[in-house]
Amino acid sequence: MNSSSLIDAIGNTPLLRLTGVTRDLPRHVEMYVKAEWFNPGGSVKDRPVRQIILDAERDRRLGPDRTILDSSSGNAGIAYAMIGAARGYRVHLVVPGNVSEERKHILRAYGAEVEYSDPLEGSDGAILVARRLAEHGGDRYFYADQYNNLSNPRAHYETTAPEIFAQTEGRVTHVVAGLGTSGTIVGAGRRLRELVPSVQIMAVEPAGALHGIEGLKHMASAIVPGIYDPSVHQRKIPVRTETAYAVARRLAREEGLLVGQSSGAAVAGALEVAAELNEGVIVVVCPDGGDRYLSTALWR
């Protein structure tokens, strides 16, 4: 009997073709979503968190005497909590106080210690709290620091990009992904530009500093992640919160895909790109499912 561990189940997510929201596009424009909610932790964040933890174990920055510490807008926190439980680590997370109730329940279920930061300060506020904890915690913590940890983009360089290349048989012309930590766009974008030099990498971000798209950053007004490399993407597409929500709802009702608002934002950006093309193969990285936002304004 073949067996595998939980972390072996991360990755190799399906590529699903959109046919409903794309019905008005030119016939030779294909759009696919990389369905990252199929990961065991329910989001794309399983990939970088696995890489961060395995790399830290390998070089002995992380051991049984240390607690994993990081800030998160929600999904990375769930990945830390899940993988930490599976590998026997204590996990301390700093999360904005306004994350969805579903995410709070999931973190509690995995046994993570959760500290809630000022909701008005968003993910940047959580970052600052985590930094202070790391500075004063001595050897108690392994500060994973997903926003500045090179293992984050490496995960997408080594897994997400080769999957997209293989699943499209090298035909991919455009890749669209949201900007949060920026690990997905930087890691996957770099590798895909090596594999398909003509590929266009498109980054999606909220249209303004005040927004309701959980997981995404408006770079001009935020703490810019150290791993962010704007030279990787050829274009940045601003998306309004209302548009992201509307497209997420359309994906549920016209495609049968229950996704989160950051996925709605990414597909909205991809539709903008697609409207300018006569032909192409567009892949949109959809970070998570919509079930962890059922209590939020997204589904009201």
Over its length of 300 residues, how does the chain's per-residue pLDDT go in tens digits? 565 799 999 999 999 999 999 999 998 999 999 999 999 999 999 999 999 999 999 999 999 999 999 999 899 999 999 999 999 999 999 999 999 999 999 999 999 999 999 999 999 999 999 999 999 998 999 999 999 999 999 999 999 999 999 999 999 999 999 999 999 999 999 999 999 999 999 999 999 999 999 999 999 999 999 999 999 999 999 999 999 999 999 999 999 999 999 999 999 999 999 999 999 999 999 999 999 999 999 998
> Distance between CA 121 and CA 51 in Å, rounded?
28
Instruction: Tell me, rounded to whole angstroms, the distance of Cα 284 from its chain centroid.
Output: 12
AA letter at 159 = T
Which positions are catalytic? 45
Query: Which two structure tokens, joined as six digits, stand for 16?
Result: 């699903």
pTM of the model: 0.96
Query: Which two structure tokens, joined as six digits, stand for 190?
Result: 């770099």
Query: Which two structure tokens, joined as six digits, stand for 79?
Result: 């990945």
Yes or no: say if 259 and 251 are a contact pair by the CB < 8 Å rule. yes
User: In the chain, what are the domain boundaries?
Assistant: 6-43+150-299, 46-143
AA letter at 45 = K
Yes or no: say if 74 and 49 are a contact pair by the CB < 8 Å rule. no
The CATH class that applies to domain 46-143 reads alpha beta
In CATH terms, is domain 6-43+150-299 a member of 3.40.50.1100? yes
Burial of residue 174 (CB within 10 Å: 0-12, 13-18, 19+) is buried
> Distance between CA 209 and CA 224 in Å, rounded?
13
What are the two backbone dihedrals, phi and then psi, of residue 139, each rounded to the nearest 5 degrees? -85, 5
AA letter at 64 = P
Residue 111: which residues within 8 A CB-CB, separation 6 or more?
Answer: 81, 85, 91
β-bridge pairing 15-17 and 141-143: unpaired
Burial of residue 40 (CB within 10 Å: 0-12, 13-18, 19+) is middle
User: Quick one: which H or E segment has residue 178?
Assistant: strand 174-178
Any idea what DSSP says for residue 221?
A: G
AA letter at 86 = A
> Distance between CA 51 and CA 117 in Å, rounded?
26
